[in-house]
Amino acid sequence: MLDKIKALQQEISAIEATSAEQAEELRIKYLSKKGLIGQLFNEFKNVPADQKKAMGAAINELKDFAQEKINSLKESFNQKQSGLQGVDPSLPGYVFAVGSRHPLAVVRNHIVEIFARLGFIVSEGPEIEDDWHVFSALNFPPEHPARDMQDTFFIEKDPDVLLRTHTSSVQVRVMEKTQPPIRAIFPGRVFRNEAISARAHCIFHQIECLYVDENVSFADLKQTLLYFAREFFGEKTEIRLRPSYFPFTEPSAEMDVSCSICGGKGCNVCKYTGWLEIMGCGMVDPNVLELCGIDNEKYTGFAFGMGIERIAMLKYGVKDLRLFFENDVRFLNQFHSAY
């Protein structure tokens, strides 16, 4: 029997295969239950007791040798099929280009990170809204002329279903479900029926902020805005607030930041004024608090909102808003950030 084992080992060491199918046929011939090695196991029961240990070890070694040989043949065909023949696996791998974040995502994440340090949480809401959350609860009565400030996309001509024109609708949803203190920011995509140009688009992104608690004052609003401006644009940034009007805040203001490009001296970016307008803000109108179920005798609050595209254009010196929506890889690859 030992001679038969040695003969099989020599035979197996010399086998070759020209295809994966042939390698499988060799496996069946030698390693299946009815194969040649399988027959040796059947004959093993007739081996004298004093030879069983040595003979059993020899048969197992033959089986392992055959398995290794046939696996090697199969692997060579797998490599040929996958195009790896002739490739040195010890060589360094190919370097794949690493993608970059969209500039709007970079700016959004940076703003969120700044306000997270002040304890603001992120809240989001639906883009398809109803009239109550977009207009009525924000102090826009029916036929109010302030509704004309925003050209709205209505769904199937239904005046009560529309694409939100601002993320203030999420503020309403939060105030309806949460009692103060409320401290949250609301990033999201909004829609307005406007002609697309270098400075306007029918789709854009906003991020708004709401803080409602006892004894919240305009001074709290101003200090929060100053902190944000210096964290985002640089520690030497100054701000100014100009009186304005919004239906949902009273008093209301527009906020400007000193131009970071010219240092406030005046350039073509800031139109030689030294200031750049970035957002609207104000104290939450008591009527809005009441409509949302919050006691306006006990609580006050402030809110503000900014266009993310506007901030990104100022930060990166982008002069055409449409570049953010064209997905040109040459443009997008310029932006890398930890945010």
Give the pLDDT of residue 304. 96
Which token pair is 249? 């805040």
Q: How far apart are alpha carbons 254 and 279 in whole angstroms?
A: 6
Give the pLDDT of residue 148. 65
Residue 243, strand partner residues: 253
Topology of domain 103-332 in CATH is BirA Bifunctional Protein; domain 2 (3.30.930)
Digits of tens for pLDDT over the chain (339 positions)? 677 777 777 887 777 877 778 878 877 877 787 777 777 777 767 777 777 777 778 778 878 887 888 788 777 766 555 555 566 777 787 777 777 789 999 999 999 999 999 999 999 999 999 989 998 999 887 777 666 666 888 887 767 888 999 999 999 999 999 999 999 999 999 998 888 888 888 899 999 999 999 999 999 999 999 999 999 988 888 999 999 999 899 999 999 998 877 766 777 667 788 888 899 999 999 999 999 999 999 999 999 999 999 898 888 888 888 999 988 888 888 887 656
Handedness of CA 128, 131, 132, 137 (dihedral sign): positive
Give the pLDDT of residue 255. 94
Give the pLDDT of residue 14. 79
Give the pLDDT of residue 82. 54
CA atoms within 13 A on the CB side of 253: 16
The alpha-helical segments, DSSP class H, found in 184-266 are 218-233
According to DSSP, residue 263 is labeled T
Give the pLDDT of residue 302. 97
The total of other beta-carbon atoms located within 10 Å of residue 12's CB is 21
* Strands annotated E in the chain: 121-122, 128-130, 154-155, 158-163, 182-191, 203-213, 239-246, 249-258, 275-284, 300-307
Give the pLDDT of residue 167. 93
Q: List Cβ neighbours of 120 (8 Å cut-off, separation of 6 or more).
A: 183, 184, 185, 209, 211
Q: How far apart are alpha carbons 169 and 184 in whole angstroms?
A: 13
Give the pLDDT of residue 320. 86
Give the pLDDT of residue 35. 77
Question: CA 270, 104, 208: angle at the middle one, nearest 5?
Answer: 80
User: 72: closest CA among 112, 2, 120, 15?
Assistant: 15
What is the domain partition of the chain in residue ranges? 2-81, 103-332
CA distances from 170 to 125, 173, 189, 260 (A): 5, 5, 12, 32
